[in-house]
Amino acid sequence: MNVEEEILKHALKNAVEHDGKAAPGPVINKVLGKFPELKKDMTSLGRKVAEIVAEVNALPVEEQKKRLLEVWPDALEKKPEKPKEFPELPGDTSNVRLRFAPNPNGPPTIGSARGAYVNWYYARRYNGKFILRFDDTDPKTKPPMPEAYEWYLEDFEWLFGEKPDEVYYLSDMLPKAYEYCEQLIRMGKAYACKCSQEEGRKYRMQGKACPHRNQDPEESLEEWKKMLAGEYDEGEIVIRIKTDLSAKDPAHRDFVGFKITYAPHPRTGTKYHVWPALDFIGAIADKEIRITHIIRGKDLRDSTARQKYIYSYFGWEYPVTLYWGRLKVHGFGKLSTSQIRKGIEEGRYTGWDDPRLPTLRGLRKRGITPEALREWFKSMGFSERDVAADLKILEAINRKQKHLKT
Ligand SMILES: [Zn+2]
């Protein structure tokens, strides 16, 4: 290949990548990478590049693109990034137990699968346990979808080539959560509060105790029993966990541990109507199933702060906690679970496995292999930094792996 051709290739590529206007500097650098001996005569190289760049820049972008692909067919294909090694887990790693804890209110998506991958990866790396826990204790605002439990099990088996080592359902653990709540009330660390939402917020914003905070534990215990007996309606009473009323973030001040919800649950029906906050029962469950390391989204820092109060009251040691940054996937529109559901109901999607959807079932239908998906997740690395991922890279990895297989 001669020098002019090399200049033209990079001038076209640089132009296409910058709205039709190539800059001579980066083109010169690329050409020197291939022909280092040209450094001896930079003047004539600069002149040649300026000439070709000017010709290229005079073309419409569409024409630039067309010519670029003629001389360099895969110029615009994104190369998969080299997999980054994940950092070591801190703390004692002799008996690692990790859980991934989704609310099954829809099928697994790319975002939840990445979370599961990170946990699964570390469980395997340290020869530990990968646990799937269904955080399904909000029958009112985020009701679980009955089919989704099975979908998580199926899709994760597809993704990892094996079943999770253990599976738990938070909705099975209410009796345990009740036991611990009663203990906290007796210890004076939790109380029954009948303030209206508005009143309660006012006290907490001012960092003041509401009239119920310092009542005799026996009184709270009586109220707790009445709650369980069904003597209260939704919104009339809650159990609050005592924290620090002067905590900087008002969201950490005396948070709700239990509230009343009469909405039926897909697994337990109407058996329970006193429902724990996820931060409460999640903390209890982590202790009960002996989680050693929690890896969760960094949007859950508040949860960690609230859960640590519960752990400290019981004298337990909080698991080592790490966070991942947000994942933004280019290639799909912005789609929430409820938007997808609406789209399916209105017939815009064929179902949860529509290949246009960012669900694992959709990706499978698109022809993506589990190996490619895992490599893609690995290439995103693991840190608290936000990640932008491109579906094109997943597709490139997929093509490469299919090619290797055949
Ligand atoms: Zn109150």
Q: Residue 66: inside a domain, yes or no?
A: yes
Both 187 and 256 in one domain: the answer is yes
Q: Residue 229: inside a domain, yes or no?
A: yes
- Average pLDDT of the segment spanning 22-51: 92
Beta-ladder partners of 323: 296
CA of 211 to the centre of ligand 1 (A): 5
Question: Which band of pLDDT confidence, cut at 50, 70 and 90, is reported for residue 338?
Answer: confident
pLDDT at 344 exceeding the cut of 70: yes
CA of 309 to the centre of ligand 1 (A): 19
Q: Nearest-CA neighbor of 3 among 21, 28, 26?
A: 28
Both 148 and 296 in one domain: the answer is yes
Both 259 and 276 in one domain: the answer is yes
- Average pLDDT of the segment spanning 65-89: 81
Query: What percentage of the chain reaches a pLDDT higher than 90?
Result: 84
Both 312 and 364 in one domain: the answer is yes
Q: Nearest-CA neighbor of 136 among 285, 327, 311, 358?
A: 285
Q: Nearest-CA neighbor of 99 among 321, 295, 302, 382?
A: 295
Both 127 and 210 in one domain: the answer is no
CATH number of the domain to which 244 belongs: 3.90.800.10
Both 306 and 391 in one domain: the answer is yes
pLDDT at 1 exceeding the cut of 80: no
Q: At which of 248, 282, 316 does a domain end?
A: 282
pLDDT at 79: 61
Mean predicted lDDT score pLDDT of the chain? 93
CA of 210 to the centre of ligand 1 (A): 5
Both 221 and 328 in one domain: the answer is no
Both 58 and 101 in one domain: the answer is no
Q: How far is CA 349 from CA 109, 142, 328, 344, 366, in A?
A: 15, 22, 22, 5, 14
Q: Residue 178: inside a domain, yes or no?
A: yes
Both 209 and 241 in one domain: the answer is yes
pLDDT at 176: 98
Question: Which band of pLDDT confidence, cut at 50, 70 and 90, is reported for residue 304?
Answer: very high
Q: Residue 223: inside a domain, yes or no?
A: yes
CA of 171 to the centre of ligand 1 (A): 27
pLDDT at 85: 81
Q: Residue 392: inside a domain, yes or no?
A: yes
Condensed to tens digits (0 to 9), the pLDDT of residues 90-100 reads: 999 999 999 99
pLDDT at 84: 61
CATH number of the domain to which 335 belongs: 3.40.50.620
Over the range 320-346, which residues count as b (16 or more CB within 10 Å of their CB) and which as e?
A: bbbbbbebebeeeeebebeebeebeee
Q: Residue 76: inside a domain, yes or no?
A: no
Question: Which band of pLDDT confidence, cut at 50, 70 and 90, is reported for residue 191?
Answer: very high
Q: Residue 183: inside a domain, yes or no?
A: yes
- Average pLDDT of the segment spanning 378-390: 90
Question: Which band of pLDDT confidence, cut at 50, 70 and 90, is reported for residue 402?
Answer: confident
- Average pLDDT of the segment spanning 357-380: 95
Distance of CA 73 to the CA centre of its chain: 36
Both 389 and 331 in one domain: the answer is yes
Question: Which band of pLDDT confidence, cut at 50, 70 and 90, is reported for residue 239?
Answer: very high
Q: Considering the entire predicted model, what is its pTM?
A: 0.78
Both 101 and 228 in one domain: the answer is no
Both 294 and 401 in one domain: the answer is yes
Q: At which of 54, 71, 88 does a domain end?
A: 71
Q: At which of 282, 307, 334 does a domain end?
A: 282
Condensed to tens digits (0 to 9), the pLDDT of residues 193-238 reads: 999 999 999 999 999 999 999 999 999 999 999 999 999 999 999 9
Could you tell me the residue range of the domain that residue 255 belongs to? 174-282
CA of 89 to the centre of ligand 1 (A): 42
Q: Residue 303: inside a domain, yes or no?
A: yes
Question: Which band of pLDDT confidence, cut at 50, 70 and 90, is reported for residue 80?
Answer: low
CA of 245 to the centre of ligand 1 (A): 13
Number of domains in the chain: 3
